[in-house]
Amino acid sequence: MYPFPACLSMGPVKIAPATVLAPMAGVTDTVFRRFIRNLGGCGLIVTEFTSSHGVSASLGARKPTRTLKYLAFDPEEHPISAQLFGADPAVMSDAARVCEDLGFDILDINFGCPVNKVVKCNGGSALLRDLPLVERLLREVRKAVAIPFTMKYRAGWNDEELVAVRMAKLAEECGLQAVALHPRTREQGFAGKADWRRIAEVKAAVKIPVIGNGDVFTPEDAVRMVRETNCDAVMIGRAASANPWIFRQIAQYLETGAYHQPSEHDRYDIMRRYYAMLMERNEKDTVGKMKQFATYFTHGVRHGAQLRASIHRAQEASAIVGLVDEFFLEEPAAAL
């Protein structure tokens, strides 16, 4: 019904639908990725960005390191991409080999993170000011692995130092299979609007697939991004935290011109399902994750602030589940 790519091919890996869950630190762990995959409509999922130095250091470790836990995934997550950050070509190459050996379908390098502690280590968006180093990284990693190789990046350090097209051409020259552009600058952070014209400029400049990212909050936004930029796929980050149905909604919208708006019961259902998945893994941070995602999942719920406050005071996972049950089932007036 609407102009939208049916799929995206990266070498032997086929991404269908042409939608991607963006890597988000502290969000896209294996539980959330499987959660999104099970809801349907998402073609590719990506890990949290992971330190290449941490991964490389794990090579000589006797037991799995904390860093490797970021790269843990289940078979149901395929196709899945591992995202690394760092600034040392040799270290990045070692880490890339580890990711390939772990069974990832795609390897991605982060050149976009604007967070100070990453930038201070010359990672993420810091490298947008050192294109010769970017080229060395890309060439060394390309030689190190056989799986499809991509990069996610920002448009530049600031509006006076835009490198979106130059970075994309560099990626193409170095043999990458695709690029994902978030068209804000590092200086912008997440403020202001994402200038999609920069995605269109990159798409017009290279032959490899271009994935658009930034300010896609609804299915209509996704379709409009493709129409305005001609991008080959759409990547969604923050919107998927509060609205994990968004990928399924895009598929519905493309097929019928309409999509399901989640009810209060739908919100209750996803909270219970996500919490059950967290409790099944029984990790140390289970309660913290339950509190974190209560903020995302109760977005727009009437009296949701009261539920969030109660959850943040709770100390046990079972108590949090009880609070959710009570809110949605025993107090219908609050949930309707």
* Residue 333 predicted with pLDDT over 70: no
The dihedral region occupied by 40, where left means phi > 0, alpha psi between -120 and 50, and beta the remainder, is left
Of 336, 328, 331, 332, which is closest to residue 272 (Cα–Cα)?
328
Asked whether 185 and 162 are in contact (CB, 8 A), the reply is yes
> Residue 13 forms beta bridges with which residues?
10
The predicted structure's pLDDT at residue 206: 98
Q: Residue 331 pLDDT > 60, yes or no?
A: no
Tell me how far apart the alpha carbons of residues 141 and 149 are, in angstroms, rounded to a whole number. 8
CA distance 213 to 21: 10
**Residue 27 reports pLDDT greater than 50:** yes
* Both tokens assigned to 38: 């099970």
Mean pLDDT across the chain: 92
Confidence of residue 276 (pLDDT cuts 50, 70, 90): very high
Are the C-beta atoms of residues 185 and 154 closer than 8 Å to each other?
yes
Q: Is the pLDDT of residue 58 over 90?
A: no
User: pLDDT-derived band of residue 334, with 50, 70 and 90 as boundaries?
Assistant: very low
Name the residue among 3, 113, 7 with its Cα closest to residue 51.
113
Average pLDDT over residues 80-92: 96
Taking 70 as the threshold, does the pLDDT of residue 1 lie above it?
Answer: no
Q: Which of 42, 99, 113, 174 is catalytic?
A: 113
CA 75 to chain centre: 18
Cβ atoms of 237 and 112 within 8 Å: the answer is no
Q: What pLDDT does residue 264 have?
A: 87
Res 63: pLDDT: 62
The C-alpha atoms of residue 223 and residue 266 are separated, in whole angstroms, by 25
Q: What percent of the chain has pLDDT over 70?
A: 96
What pTM value is reported for the model?
0.93
pLDDT at 64 over 80: no
Residue 287's Cβ-side half-sphere holds a number of Cα atoms within 13 Å equal to: 12
Is the per-residue pLDDT at 335 higher than 70?
no
Q: What is the mean pLDDT of residues 9-22?
A: 96
Instruction: State pLDDT tens for residues 217-228.
Output: 999 999 999 999
Tens-digit pLDDT profile for residues 127-175: 999 999 999 999 999 999 999 999 999 999 999 999 999 999 999 999 9
Paired tokens of 208 = 């490899």
Mean pLDDT of 262-280: 92
Mean pLDDT of 277-303: 90
Does the 8-256 domain belong in CATH 1.10.150.120?
Answer: no
Which of 31-45, 162-176, 189-203, 296-310 is the least confident region? 296-310
Confidence of residue 117 (pLDDT cuts 50, 70, 90): confident
Average pLDDT over residues 237-258: 95
Rounded distance between C-alpha atoms, residue 79 and residue 103, angstroms: 10
Q: Long-range pairs for 257-262 at CB < 8 Å and ≥24 separation?
A: 257/1, 257/2, 259/219
Whole-number CA gyration radius for the chain: 20
The residue assigned the tokens 């991004």 is: 225
Contact yes or no for 183/214 (Cβ under 8 A): yes
Residues 6+ apart with CB under 8 A from 260: 245, 248, 249, 252
Kindly state the tokens that stand for 122: 């010359």
The terminus-to-terminus CA distance of the chain in angstroms comes to 34
Residues 6+ apart with CB under 8 A from 128: 111, 134, 153, 154, 156, 157, 161, 163, 167, 186
Q: Alpha-carbon dihedral of residues 130, 108, 94, 37, nearest 10 degrees?
A: 150
Is 113 catalytic? The answer is yes
Nearest CA-CA partner of 166 in 131, 195, 192:
131
